Structure 1
Amino acid sequence: MRRLWPLTVRGTGALILGLTCFVVAGETGVHELVYFGILLLAVLGASIASLYLARRSDVVTRSLVPDVATVGQEALVSVRVGVRTAVPTPPGTWLDTIPKGLSGKAEGVFPALGSGLRGSDRVVDLSYTVRGMKRGVHPIGPLMVRSTDPFGLARRSNVFGQKTQVTVAPATVDLPPLTDYAGAAGGTLHTTTNQLGQGADNLVARTYVPGDSMRRIHWRATAHRDSLMVRQEEQESTPEASVVIDRGVLRWSTEAMFAPGADPGFETAVVTCVSAVARLVHDGYAVEVLDTDGTVLAERIDGSDMAEVDILLAQFATITARRDDSLGRLTRMFAGVTTGPIVLIVGRFDPADVELIAPVAHHSSLPMLFAVAPVGDALDRAADIGWRVGVIDPDADLAVAWAGAVGRGMSHAFG
């Protein structure tokens, strides 16, 4: 009812006063009160007409800087309102609708505008800042502009229904580099220097084995031998790493399967995943991001290509858990190959799971395992067979867990 009532407190008082004049005039016979009451009602009618009878069109567009918001970081929202109205409009207030995935104060003064009969559309630029609160895609809008007549008797709220979808990417944590472990981790950029002086004539092709990147296929040798061949030197000169996140919902809460940001543990796993990718790419590794069932979550990102990491962050804004549990398939993904670092991120991790992933540790120069909710001595057993393990907790410092896993083989990151 409050939204439908067109009068302000002052206008409501004027209406009551006008009606009272009619009643008192009838009781006392003072006809001047009738004229005064009619004048008040006429002013009220004119005030409402000035707001509701003017034809007005508005187009709202929004832009963000940066284009993709990040959890915990601020972004600038610029709102452009195109206005065409036949009569001058008084100043008012504006309020933009902010979803739960963002926080911010989106309100202010909407300026007065003159008549647009002789001119083109006027443009009003508004701006405010928002902070990412929850990963996902969230709609900003609609925009509401509330204005009053010059006498402050009537009010009107215009709601412009255009909404803008805002992508909120997961946060990234600056992890310690792996440069001190280059030899043990399969080599970083310094390994490439060992290949300097080898031209295209020195390429060595070998038979393709499951797990080799399709980008390393040597097509000339493949055509000559009528079987898939890959470039052996590229494997040596381009260090590779894999980041694997287990999305099986049995290891998380069921909420993690339906909406981003619903399960704090799964959110920690996502942050760990994108942070590990950013660290490895920065260190010069070519990184592939996989699910434990073999699904490629992001195409291979070449070493030092941080622009592709930004694209990955936007892709991971909507990633959720899935129904199947496929941790046991991890061994087949790395069978027959030896690679650089493998970062495995899981939720609940039982002692029985250790046997499922035991062979993988022998196919990596730096196998790293991070669990949100380890059970019993599961991580101790994994460390005994070669995994560098760590506990990641939503309230703890991920960088500490990462450094401890790389440096000591065991790190509990509780705050």
Structure 2
Amino acid sequence: MTAGGTGHAEESGGGLRTALAGLTTRGRSFLAAGVAAGVCAYVLGQSDLLRVGLLLAVLPLLCATVLYRTRYRVTGSRRLSPARVPAGSEARVHLRMDNVSRLPTGLLMLQDRVPYVLGPRPRFVLDRMEAGGHREVSYRVRSDLRGRYPLGPLQLRLTDPFGLCELTRSFSTYDTLTVIPRVEPLPPVRLSGEAKGYGDGRQRSLALAGEDDVIPRGYRHGDDLRRVHWRLTARYGELMVRREEQPQRARCTVLLDTRGIAYAGAGPDAAFEWAVSGAASTLVHMLERGFSVRLLTDTGTSVPGESADGFAGATQESADAAGLMMDTLAVVDHSDGAGLSRAYDALRGGSEGLLIAFLGDLDEEQATVLARMRRRSGGALAFLLESDAWVRQPSGVPGPPDGNGERRLRMLREAGWTAVKVPRGADLADLWRQADRQRTSAAATGSPMGGGS
């Protein structure tokens, strides 16, 4: 992404006051020494000392005036590679300065403003640029925290050859670096409710989107002749085919619990950050498998621009869809809500296919709401993060197990969820396989979906 940052540097102020404010320590020392020498020359009647004092006092003032009146026509641009980076990974920022005037520049000091979480402010010294010339520099940024971070504006510090005065001129534009959650590759296990059917040829899964489509349509090139409806062909005078063999696309809704009261702790290793990363990994995985994917939070909101059926996977637009959802998860934060009822209301429109939830602490009321959610889906998988299991004691020993958490886990399983407890620092791929084993065990024993351990 090549962005912003292109334009002329703007002066930070105006008038003699701005020029004098740019005097360095050396320049102020020269000025003070010149004034002191002038006073001594007047008291002692030494004309030679007066000439030295005038030289010392006038030189920094002259440098400040000349530097202030200097009009460099310099443009700058910034390029992020990449503009969207996972948390904990590095991005490189490329800066380019162009001298668009007919005169060469002097020594330039370049500084880019970056948030402190990305690292120290980068500073560069650019040597003399000839007319029409350019200089390129780059630096790296890294953040362990999700978010959208502004980069810029660029600042140019102009200095005179004697180092007596420095002036700062800034560009007006900036770019944005998006730090998205970490995405972990997941194994291709078969979860309940995810099968894709093809009409009468295969058994339809409850995760399939839409109703059975039996309305005939006109024949199209490539249609199977076995699907020709001869009676309607005779009636309409053209080839008509049945549409019930049309493949259906499976749906998947990823529910992210963002309630502030459901999580304890903060920082990149907190339970909430694990849940956000897990949701991101699941969204990407299901898109790659061809699902129509929808992201939902406890507030009932979804990704801006998302259709009623979610984003379609295995299409040319799936990469853009993943980017939109990653951008949403990059800035998601704790909500002030106390329950999951608004998320349940958002699921009332019809079958949501496979439902995968990342949940914090639950009370009995929220466990009941989740049990009702299970009835709206073809399959349901829950990852339950208990705050007590994630918050360590001062000695570094994990806190005691929470009996209420075990009861909530059992309630979800009895309601038909494939429920998995998430210990501190767990690997999502391992939990993904554990969920598949749990589902297989439940199907073998004939217990409710997700039952067993």
Task: Normalising by structure 2, report the TM-score.
Answer: 0.68
**Counterpart in 1 of 2:9?**
none
Deviation at 1:231, TM superposition (A): 6.7
Residue 278 (structure 1) shift: 1.2
Distance 1:173 1:108 in 2: 37
Residue among 282, 290, 293 paired with 1:287 = 293
**Contact map agreement 1:57 1:85 (CA 8 A) in 2:** yes
Counterpart position of 2:428: 398
Match status 1:33 vs 2:55:
no
In structure 2, the CA distance between the partners of 1:36 and 1:333, relative to structure 1 (3 Å rule), is closer
Change (3 A) 1:217 1:154: farther
In structure 2, what is the Cα distance between the partners aligned to 1:104 and 1:194? Answer: 63
Looking at structure 2, the residues matched to 269 and 233 of structure 1 have their Cα atoms a distance apart, in angstroms, of 39
Residues 1:177 and 2:171 are matched in the alignment: no
Segments of structure 1 that go 5 or more residues without pairing to the other structure are 197-208, 225-229, 411-415
Q: Equivalent of 2:254, from 234, 243, 249?
A: 243
Matched, 1:42 2:42: no
Q: Give the superposition deviation at 1:169.
A: 2.2
* 1:17-76, Cα deviation, whole Å (9 max, x unpaired): 322322332333321111122222332233222311112344443221223233222222
Q: Distance in 2 between matches of 1:154 and 1:42?
A: 13
Name the CA shift for 1:30/1:333 in 2 (closer, same or farther; >3 Å): closer
Query: Residues 246 and 327 of structure 1 are in contact (CA less than 8 Å); yes or no, is this contact kept in structure 2?
Result: no
Superposed, 1:7-406 pairs within 5 Å as 7-84=23-100, 88-100=104-116, 102-103=118-119, 106-114=122-130, 116=131, 122-178=133-189, 181=190, 184-187=192-195, 213=209, 233-234=245-246, 237-248=248-259, 251=262, 264-292=270-298, 295-297=301-303, 298-299=306-307, 300-305=310-315, 306-307=318-319, 308-324=321-337, 325-327=339-341, 330=344, 333=347, 337=351, 339=353, 341-361=354-374, 364=377, 366-373=379-386, 375-376=404-405, 377-392=407-422, 395-406=425-436
Q: 1:371 to 1:3 in 2, by over 3 A?
A: farther
CA deviations 1:364-385 (Å, max 9, x no partner) are 5542112233743211322244
Q: Assess, with a 3 A threshold, how the Cα gap between structure 1 residues 382 and 50 changes in structure 2: closer, same or farther.
A: same
CA contact (8 A) 1:54 1:86 kept: no
Distance 1:47 1:153 in 2: 7
Match of 1:199 in 2: none
Rounded Cα–Cα distance in structure 2 between residues aligned with 1:370 and 1:3 = 62
Amino acid at match of 2:41: A
Tell me how far 1:149 sits from its aligned partner.
Answer: 0.9
Over 3 Å counting, the alpha-carbon distance change for 1:100 and 1:403 in structure 2 is farther
Aligned residue for 1:18, secondary structure, equals: helix
| Percentage of identical aligned residues | 24
Contact 1:252–1:348 under 8 Å retained in 2? yes
Decide whether the 8 Å contact of 2:381 with 2:419 is kept in 1.
yes
Q: Which moved more, 1:69-78 or 1:350-359?
A: 350-359
What per-residue deviation string (whole Å, max 9, x for no partner) do you get for residues 338-373 of structure 1? Answer: 83x320122221233333222444665542112233
* Pair 362,231 (structure 1): closer, same or farther in 2 beyond 3 Å: farther
Higher strand share: 1
CA RMSD across the alignment = 4.2
Q: What letter matches 1:137 in structure 2?
A: R
Aligned residues: 375
Which residue identity does 1:103 align to in structure 2? G
8 Å CA contact retained: 2:199, 2:245: no
SS of equivalent to 2:370: helix
- The change in CA–CA distance for 1:19 and 1:396 in structure 2 (over 3 A counts) is farther
State the shift of 1:332 in Å. Answer: 8.2
